[in-house]
Amino acid sequence: MSIGKKSETVKVVVRCRPVNKKEEAMSHEKIVEVDVKLGQVSVRNPKAAGTLLKTFTFDAVYDMLSKQHELYDYSCKPLIDSVLLGFNGTIFAYGQTGTGKTYTMHGLPTDSEKQGVIPNSFQHIFTHISRSQNQQYLVRVSYLEIYQDEIRDLLCKDNCKKLELKENPELGTAVCVCDFL
């Protein structure tokens, strides 16, 4: 995997999932190539003649064989460390349905090697807090889904409730989460 610059405020990280069983059964051809050292993803148009590739460069790239802890350690842990220093942090998973966002974010909670970003972040935060002395912490977490232009709070009891974006002169643009804001 490639490791992005630590001084950047926003990092764009790409993880490419392996071909699934349905795609294998349908003999879909592989059109994505990943260069983890260069942080590049190349995509080939299967309908175009020849092997014309479009290549994109990112702060970090994880290939089809990447492990959950690799992605967390290099792309998320530094952000969580800054959160523990009092800064705000956001991890944003984006992609089409079926591209692996849920696996990357949740993983398999019963398998410590396959736990995703969320359980690893919580473990990191609460281990740090438990080892701290003479320090108080306030932990706030939001877990939102934006799907088809609708926002849902996945931690709210009524997560079917559609949320709205609101403008606040002091806070800026914010999502009203469970009547908290």
d(CA 77, CA 65): 20
pLDDT at residue 177, as a whole number: 62
pLDDT tens across 59-113, in order? Answer: 999 999 999 999 999 999 999 999 999 888 899 899 988 899 999 999 998 899 9
Q: What is the mean pLDDT of residues 45-55?
A: 82
Q: Is 95 annotated as a binding residue?
A: yes
100 in a known ligand binding site: yes
Residue pair 112/118 in contact (Cβ under 8 Å)? The answer is no
**pTM score, two decimals?**
0.80
Phi, psi (deg, nearest 5) at residue 146: -115, 115
Domain map of the chain by residue range?
Answer: 1-65, 67-141, 143-181
Closest CA to 114 of 79, 78, 72: 72
Is residue 90 annotated as involved in ligand binding? no
| pLDDT digits 0-9 by tens, 114-157 | 999 999 999 999 999 999 999 888 888 888 888 888 888 888 77
51 labelled binding-site residue: no
Q: Which residues pair with 41 in a beta bridge?
A: 34, 56
pLDDT of residue 30: 85
Say which residues have a Cβ less than 8 Å from residue 73's Cβ, sequence separation at least 6: none
Q: How confident is the model at residue 8 (pLDDT cuts 50, 70, 90)?
A: low
Q: 50 a known binding residue?
A: no
Q: How many CB atoms lie within 10 A of CB 181?
A: 11
Question: Which pLDDT band holds residue 178 (cuts at 50, 70, 90)?
Answer: low
| Higher-confidence position of 170 and 12 | 12
- Percentage of the chain surpassing pLDDT 90? 48
pLDDT of the residue at 159: 66
| Locus of tokens 């993983």 | 107
Determine the Cα–Cα distance for residues 55 and 181; give it in Å rounded to an integer: 42
Quickly tell me which residue has 């949320």 as its tokens: 163
Number of other CB atoms surrounding residue 163 within 10 Å? 19
Is 86 known as a binding-site position? no
Q: How far is CA 97 from CA 15, 18, 103, 148, in A?
A: 14, 15, 12, 11
| Cβ burial 31-41 (10 Å sphere, 16+ → b, else e) | eeebebeebbb
**Contact call for residues 14 and 58 (beta carbons, < 8 A):** yes
